[in-house]
Amino acid sequence: MSVLRGKKILLGVSGGIAAYKTAGLVRLFIKAGAQVQVVMTPASKDFVTPLTLSTLSKNPVHSSFYNDDDENAVWNNHVDLALWADLMVVAPATANTLSKMASGTCDNLLTATYLSAKCPVYFAPAMDLDMYRHGSTLDNFNILKRFGNTIIPAESGELASGLSGEGRMAEPENIVHFIESDIASRLPLKGKKILITAGPTYEAIDPVRFIGNHSSGKMGFDLAESAAGLGATIILITGPTHFTAKSGNIETIKVVSAQEMYDACHRFYGEVDVAIAAAAVADYRPKIVAGEKIKKSSDEFTIALEKTKDILASMGQAKKNQFLIGFALETENEIENAKLKIQKKNLDLIVLNSLRDEGAGFGKTTNKITFIDKNFNIEPMELKAKEAVADDILNKVITHFNA
């Protein structure tokens, strides 16, 4: 999954021949899962039509402050456009537009929007060889970089003038790759490896029956996707569930029983920076598993159970530098039981759920949690969607590494 997924991208198109490439660029942004709006300079419409970019972006294209042909037209608010964006990309960025951006000249909608932007700004220069090397252009590059803008270097190749050299706008695929790599390098969990457990475990009674629970696995999968979006590499060990991880940097290990989950966790635990035990692991399993389906032969049937290995406690015992997070689902004496669990299992943080809270528990799209850290600091949270709860938990991880 691209780091651009869900991002709001404002594409500024200025008047150079390379503007024809923006059709492909918009398409690639959309394919990566981004939302796109386009702002064009009047001159850029000589090279690519607003209709083309509007069709590809699925949004109206803006090129002026208002429509001259409509006396009742609503003003295109450059501030609203700028604040909408998670990032702005000016491509192609001609020498003229770069000069206006550097000097603060505000004579069209694109430069007005740029001057209002609070988000990261990328610019992809496109001009002839001598213009690209001119001292004023190089000065403008440095000014824009001092403003915190990021240059997407021009490529070498055949130019519109017939010359060959530097100044050709980067190809759309290279622009997208550059932005993805730049964003990924700044993500707060870049370089961290996180183990996450998810879902229920099934403990076999015979070949067709098992002991299980109602865990859907959603919380663990939401944690994995959130952590991946923050730059981490994920080992997701999941019991039976219908969910599928979407991000490319999530390695999914499918297990069924508590013993299989125990073995998988300890196979990877020594190499991770963080472990989050979100799975609902069975506490007991049948002592004897029948080799054949048990026939219904009497009014009563007794199954002898034995304890499963405590995965979380074993990770706490083996802990070196890992930041270890556990979950506690309680129905009574919630805080006291959670504090005991922190001590017994050597946890750094526990995420407490109470089945007495409306909207929390198995099979729900929402959750209401309370954070308790190893120093017994207690932080209750509001009822939220599980995706938002996952973000809150990962923010605790980020805070830990920034402390």
Catalytic residues: 213
Q: What is the rounded distance in angstroms from the CA atom of residue 113 to the CA atom of residue 106?
A: 9
Cis bond upstream, residue 125 (ω within 30): no
Rg (CA), the chain: 28
Q: What is the rounded distance in angstroms from the CA atom of residue 95 to the CA atom of residue 105?
A: 13
296 Cβ contact partners less than 8 Å away, ≥ 6 residues apart: none
CA-nearest of 258, 252, 242 to 195 is 252
214 Cβ contact partners less than 8 Å away, ≥ 6 residues apart: 200, 362, 363
Q: What is the rounded distance in angstroms from the CA atom of residue 275 to the CA atom of residue 267?
A: 13
H helices, E strands: number in the chain = 13, 22
350 phi and psi angles, rounded to 5 deg: -125, 145
